[in-house]
Amino acid sequence: MNVETPQKKPSRIQQRNRAKILDAALEVFAQHGYRGATLDQIAEASGLSKPNILYYFDGKEDIHVTLLGQLMDTWLDPMREIDPGGEPLEELLRYVRRKVEMSFEYPRESRLFANEILQGAPRIAPHLEADLKPLVDRTADLIDGWVGAGRLAPVDARHLIFSIWATTQHYADFEVQVRMLAEDDLRARAVAFLDLMYRRMLKP
């Protein structure tokens, strides 16, 4: 009879080193993309040796997939939080505000995701199919139901979702350009502008 040996819980040092590697890799991938990033760059940014990196991860792809998996959960939470029983306009405006906030709070994560999509999603495609698509399907059906009940102005639900992603994640993916061209109070102005735009678009 085979008895499985329980896995040992990682020590605090192991947890800390793993977190350092992932944080350093996030910065490297966000700057250079997957193809341009190297384990040497990640090792230098983390302050750990390359053999030490390979103790915790199988290689660059393993690190990248781990980051993308963590990111997907964080990225999908605002859409999951849309309340079918809430006031439709306010629920969607809250979603827009949260997406803007995330673009300012997690710009590296947004660029990591954008780079992966631009490359054809070779490492995250299963997550998109299993997690993102069903969630978008449900959200689009919910919006269509609100439109049909006269609680929102007529709108193409899926293209509304795409538009929200484009107008909010722009602040992260083009951060350098935006900060160069925009005025002070950038975050507050972005929230105010998008709130007004989508409110006018969606108010029945």
Residue type at position 62: D
10-57 with 60-202: one CATH topology?
no
- CATH for 60-202? 1.10.357.10
pTM of the model: 0.84
Nearest to 157 by CA among 167, 170, 168, 146: 146
CA neighbours within 13 Å on the CB side: how many for 141? 6
Domain at 10-57: CATH architecture: Orthogonal Bundle (1.10)
CA-closest candidate to residue 81, choices 135, 118, 120, 127: 135
Q: What is the model's pLDDT at position 73?
A: 83
Task: Tell which residue, 54, 50, 47, 52, has the closest CA to residue 27.
Answer: 47
Domain boundaries, the chain: 10-57, 60-202
Per run of 10 residues, the mean pLDDT along the chain (length 204 residues) is: 54 89 92 90 95 93 90 90 98 97 92 88 88 96 98 98 97 92 90 98 97
37 burial via Cβ count (<10 Å: 0-12, 13-18, 19+):
buried
| pLDDT attached to residue 3 | 44
Return d(Cα 51, Cα 8) in angstroms, integer: 21
